[in-house]
Structure 1
Amino acid sequence: MSLQDKVAIVTGSGAGLGLAYARELAAQGASVVINDVDQATADAAVASIEADGGKAVSVVAPVGSTETAEKLVEAAVNTFGRLDILVTNAGILRDKSLLKMSDEDFDAVINVHLKGTFTCVRAAFGHFKAEGVAGRIVCIGSPTGQRGNFGQTNYAAAKAGIVGMVRTWALEMKRAGVSVNAVIPVAATAMTKTVPYFQKAVQAEEQGEPMPDFFRKELGFGTAQDAAGVVAFLASDAVEGVTGQVIGAGGDRLQIWSHPEPVVSEYHDGGWDYATLMDKGREILDTNLQSVGESMPELPAELQPTS
């Protein structure tokens, strides 16, 4: 289904994954509001879309505040006459282990990722409801928010929080006909370029070569474009009634993440007091322990990083 005549906002879309999402939406016919904190980067993103025959305008402002969220909606309506789609992608990293992470490190990431998603979705949904638009909202999560990752307390909290908000908003927006879903991309980005494990995959992409099958198939790791198609699909009329879902996208793999569910339910007459737990609690835990963090398979010899 075409996105012709639709209008989309993509936050953090001057480069990287955000630009891939914006370009894909434009390729499917949507007019796009680009957002970045750097004017030259935003201008280049707009120019790249226009060069391909698309329509775009930029709003240069940091995501987080209500003011920026309202500017983005206003830009869409004032420039293109409407708003149909919001993709909340803007984010920053301030990676440090817990004892080294400052208040400023924590607050900065939470403000952009979590509060920025909240303010932008609130502004877009307010417009959708006022204008009777059955809009589409796609919020970008991360495997870190689903599984945890060393040194990313702030990022994990923000991304897990985004998924929690998406599930809540699905309930609140259902009557208005608005679909809100999350995408968990696994792709070559500025962050993964610094990880030795992904070296051969990143090198292949930079050289315009296909990524090795190990990354695309076994690991579900690919290019930004692999995730962009999923974002555009979730922005289309094809997903009417599909809401509150968490979709993983990477390489040749598509995933549906489950909502958290109990893996075991045990009952004890009179409840689980301290003495009962001391007697039975450890056995229950040990037989049902859940993993934490991402588990990466060993790289084949030919894909081992080189110095």
Structure 2
Amino acid sequence: MSLDGKVAIVTGSGRGLGLAYAQELARQGAAVVVNDVDANTADEAVASIEAAGGRAVAVVAPVGSTETAKQLVQTAVDTFGRLDILVTNAGVLRDTVLWKMSDEDFDLVIDVHLRGTFTCVRAAATYMRENQIAGRIITIGSPTGQRGNFGQTNYAAAKAGIVGMVRTWALELKKAGITANAVIPVAATAMTATVPYFAAAVEADAKGEPMPAFFRHDLGFGNAADVAGLIAYLASDAAADVTGQAIGVGGDRLQVWSHPEPVVTAYHDGGWSYEALQEEFPGVYQAQSVGEKFPPLPEELQR
């Protein structure tokens, strides 16, 4: 089931993971609206798609505002005649611990990731519903949004919020045949390139060499191309029944994340007073882990 005749928007697709998504969608037959804040980067992305025989056009604008969202949808319709697929990948990082995070650091990350996803999905879903298109909404989450990460209050909030919106949109858009899913990628990026733990994998990828099996298999850590296949699959007719899900992918690993469910349920006649909690909570409580837990690096991969 190819994507021939489909039209996609991929935000933040000038480089990195977003570019890989746009190139794979084009390889499968979709025409693509590329988006970046830098004109040269966007033009180079379009040229790479066209050089491989695909069709693409660029929109140079920062994601977040309603105006940019409408511009992206209008460009898809004006250039290629329709819109079937939206991938909301655009994002920025402003990492620092809670007590040092400024209002500006928080607001910028929330605006691009969370508000940008909302405004773009709203514009795309409105168009799809009005034109009876059973479209595909694919958002990008993160393990940080699922489990938290030191120094990423803003990013964790945005990515967790995106998954929450996806679950809501799956309900709201079901009748229109529009699916909404979140992809949780684990891949070599500019961010992971600075983490010593991933050094051997990042260096191998930069040299065009296979990553060590420990990273690809045990950690589910790969490169951008390892994520792009899932993006294209969720955009296809084959995934028409997949909606409201958070799906992780990286290296050789695929994961379907559970939706939050209670791990303990307890009752106390008359309700849980302060005194009842003091007496009974320790016997009921089961602490849940937070943050990512990585196994020790094999000796041959240590630096």
Q: Give your verdict on TM over 0.5.
A: yes
**Match for residue 2 of structure 1?**
2
Equivalent residue for 1:292, pick from 290, 293, 298: 290
CA distance in 2, matches of 1:159, 1:177: 25
What's the secondary structure of 2:163's corresponding residue? helix
CA distance in 2, matches of 1:124, 1:243: 16
Superposed displacement of residue 102, structure 1: 0.1
CA distance in 2, matches of 1:293, 1:284: 23
Q: Is the 8 A contact 1:21 1:231 kept in 2?
A: yes
- Given the alignment of the two structures, is residue 272 of structure 1 paired with residue 246 of structure 2, yes or no? no
Superposed displacement of residue 284, structure 1: 1.7
Supply the AA of the counterpart residue of 2:272: W
Equivalent residues in 2 for 1:116-127, closer than 5 Å: 116-127=116-127
In structure 2, runs of 5+ residues without a counterpart are: none
Q: Is the 8 A contact 1:177 1:241 kept in 2?
A: no
**Match for residue 301 of structure 2?**
303
In structure 1, runs of 5+ residues without a counterpart are: none
CA distance in 2, matches of 1:159, 1:212: 29
Larger displacement relative to structure 2 (239-248 or 78-87): 239-248
Superposed displacement of residue 283, structure 1: 2.5
Equivalent residues in 2 for 1:96-107, closer than 5 Å: 96-107=96-107
- Taking structure 1 as the reference length, the TM-score comes to 0.98
**Match for residue 72 of structure 1?**
72
Superposed displacement of residue 280, structure 1: 1.0
Where in structure 1 do 4 or more consecutive aligned residues deviate above 2 Å?
A: none
CA distance in 2, matches of 1:118, 1:229: 24
- Given the alignment of the two structures, is residue 49 of structure 1 paired with residue 49 of structure 2, yes or no? yes
CA distance in 1, matches of 2:42, 2:300: 39
What's the secondary structure of 2:265's corresponding residue? coil
Equivalenced residues, count: 303
CA distance in 1, matches of 2:57, 2:201: 33
Residue deviations 1:1-54, cap 9 Å, x none?
100110000000000000000000000000000000000000000000000000
Residue deviations 1:72-98, cap 9 Å, x none?
000100000010000000000000000
Q: Is the 8 A contact 1:141 1:182 kept in 2?
A: yes
What is the identity percentage for the equivalent residue pairs of Structure 1 and Structure 2? Answer: 73
Residue deviations 1:228-273, cap 9 Å, x none?
0001000000011221011000000000000000001001111110
- Taking structure 2 as the reference length, the TM-score comes to 0.99
Supply the AA of the counterpart residue of 2:288: Q
**Match for residue 219 of structure 1?**
219
CA distance in 2, matches of 1:303, 1:103: 40
